[in-house]
Amino acid sequence: MFELTGKVAVVTGGGSGIGAAIATLFARQGATVALIDRDASAAETTARTIRDAGGRASALQCDVADTGSVADAFARVDADHRRVDILVNNAGIAHVGTIQQTAPEDLDRLYNVNVRGVYLCARAAIDIMLRDGGGVIVNMASIASLIGIPDRFAYGMTKGAVLTMTKSIAVDYVKRGIRCNCICPARVHTPFVDGFLAKNYPGKEKEMFAKLSAAQPIGRMGQPEEIAGLVAFLCSDEAAFITGSAYDIDGGATLLR
């Protein structure tokens, strides 16, 4: 089950964290994976690890917020593989702050990656998918797209847009062979979390990590591999009847709202 043999998958933000876990699982399930990341070195490291394990993967440097960069990356994937069956829009950035603590340039920065980036990559992928009979898109939203989270004004705004884009793509292409869903994780233990703690709580990283973990009803953060498992299911033929849906994967965080 959940086999992806013969599929070509593009994973944005594939150089680390959730994106790397998704790409690694896809390759293990038989897909050929093209990792897109602004950090070319990180993407190549993930791709090399996949290849060393016997999988098929390539790395492409790409700024998802830049129209030309996205066009070039997808043209390269199309030239190399002649198709795109799966797109995972995982690339994203965060910002901590209320509306008063969010400068216009902060809002623009998050919009450009988290909203414009999803739009540009989905648009490029859909052009190829329609030519070849269809495909699957999974977008990375967040529980912040469903509930209010303190000090996440800009981040919540962008993830709300991702949720709405998901539904719009799903309804527009449901009869043309393209499925589109999104997932809504709570806090996941990634290098971003470790960097945030080191920057804001030097010397108290372990204490704050435990506090952030305990804040979720299940008592811990999610793991990138757990997110990857849900994404793999949604991109597989076993999920062929699913489109336009948002899946919580949050350790019970939305149960208390």
Sequence-ordered list of residues with C-beta below 8 angstroms from that of 207, at least 6 positions apart, any chain:
201
Q: What does the alpha-carbon distance between residue 133 and residue 241 come to, in Å, rounded to a whole number?
A: 16
Which one is catalytic: 119, 155, 173, 247? 155
Please report the pLDDT score of residue 138 as a whole number. Answer: 98
Q: What does the alpha-carbon distance between residue 21 and residue 1 come to, in Å, rounded to a whole number?
A: 19
155 in active site: yes
CB 58 within 8 A of CB 35: yes
Please report the pLDDT score of residue 256 as a whole number. Answer: 74
Q: Which 3 state secondary structure label does DSSP give 122?
A: helix
Low-confidence winner among 167-171, 203-207, 238-242 (lowest mean pLDDT): 203-207
Sequence-ordered list of residues with C-beta below 8 angstroms from that of 9, at least 6 positions apart, any chain:
23, 26, 31, 32, 33, 34, 84, 85, 86, 87, 88, 235
223: phi then psi, degrees, rounded to nearest 5: -110, 145
Q: What does the alpha-carbon distance between residue 231 and residue 183 come to, in Å, rounded to a whole number?
A: 8
Q: What is the mean pLDDT of residues 38-54?
A: 98
Secondary structure element (H or E) that encloses residue 135, with its range? strand 135-140
Reported as a pLDDT band with limits 50, 70 and 90, residue 124 is very high
Q: What does the alpha-carbon distance between residue 158 and residue 114 come to, in Å, rounded to a whole number?
A: 6
Q: Is the per-residue pLDDT at 257 higher than 80? A: no
Reported as a pLDDT band with limits 50, 70 and 90, residue 61 is very high
| Domains of the chain, start order | 8-186+224-247 (3.40.50.720), 190-221 (no CATH)
Q: Is the per-residue pLDDT at 244 higher than 90? A: yes
pLDDT tens digits for range 137-183: 999 999 999 999 999 999 999 999 999 999 999 999 999 999 999 99
Largest CA distance in the chain: 55
Q: What is the mean pLDDT of residues 105-133?
A: 98
pTM of the model: 0.95
Reported as a pLDDT band with limits 50, 70 and 90, residue 199 is confident
Q: Which 3 state secondary structure label does DSSP give 87?
A: strand
Angle, vertex CA 19, rays to CA 134 and CA 45, nearest 5 = 115
pLDDT tens digits for range 81-93: 999 999 999 999 9
Reported as a pLDDT band with limits 50, 70 and 90, residue 191 is confident
